[in-house]
Amino acid sequence: MINAIIGDIVSVTETSVVLRCNDIEYNLNVSAQTSSRLSNLKGEERVGVRLLTTLVHREDSMTLFAFIDEAEREAFKQLQTVSGIGSKQALKILSGISVKHLAEALDSGNVKLLSTIPGIGPKTGQKMILTLRNVLVLEDEKMPASASSKRTSLKMWGDILDALVEMGYDRRRVEDVVEKLVTEEKEKLSALSHHETEEYLFRSAIVALG
């Protein structure tokens, strides 16, 4: 697998970048957002550029996709786990919304925002939420360690969070309550199976939420 290509930018369009590496020039498919960031590079900044890559092999073609960072590449991969979304559609989605805002829209169930992405209707937006909510998790480099740990622990209890939100509770409040229960009842929960823990957290969260 080609993990990344390091080279000099020859040209950039809205959908592709040509990168020269030694005596070879690579034509890489990119999102509009990656294209914009590469277009803003000037002078020496365009030399020795590192782009992460994913090779998509079909019966009739081999296409190399490039990404500005790991978050974008991971989003590209995860989007293709949604029924009906292929590599080209995934790249179009990443052209229409930043990875950060995509993750926020998925976690909050914001079908309206997802439907504003070109080529994405309400039905596809709903499928994206069902498949990727609490899956596409971004670790903000500036996020305190405690906050990062919270996101990781909450990811384990995604089904509980979704069930409580569907009952009408506010997601942020649900996350705070579940996180508090997991922390305070750590010793008790360690003696339970995963299923028993889910049942206990669900019942306790309802009581705490009032």
Domain ranges within the chain, ordered by starting residue: 1-68, 70-138, 145-209
Q: Matching CATH topology for 1-68 and 70-138?
A: no
Residue 203: both structure tokens together: 């019942």
Of 58, 42, 43, 49, which Cα lies nearest the Cα of 17?
49
The reported pTM is 0.64
Q: How confident is the model at residue 26 (pLDDT cuts 50, 70, 90)?
A: very high
Facing residues of 67 across strands?
A: 52
Task: List the CATH code of the domain at 70-138.
Answer: 1.10.150.20
Q: How confident is the model at residue 138 (pLDDT cuts 50, 70, 90)?
A: low
- Residue 185: burial class (beta carbons within 10 Å; 0-12, 13-18, 19+): middle
User: Is a pLDDT exceeding 80 seen at residue 134?
Assistant: no
- Quick one: pLDDT at residue 141? 42
- Quick one: pLDDT at residue 89? 94
Range 1-68: architecture per CATH: Beta Barrel (2.40)
- Quick one: pLDDT at residue 175? 85
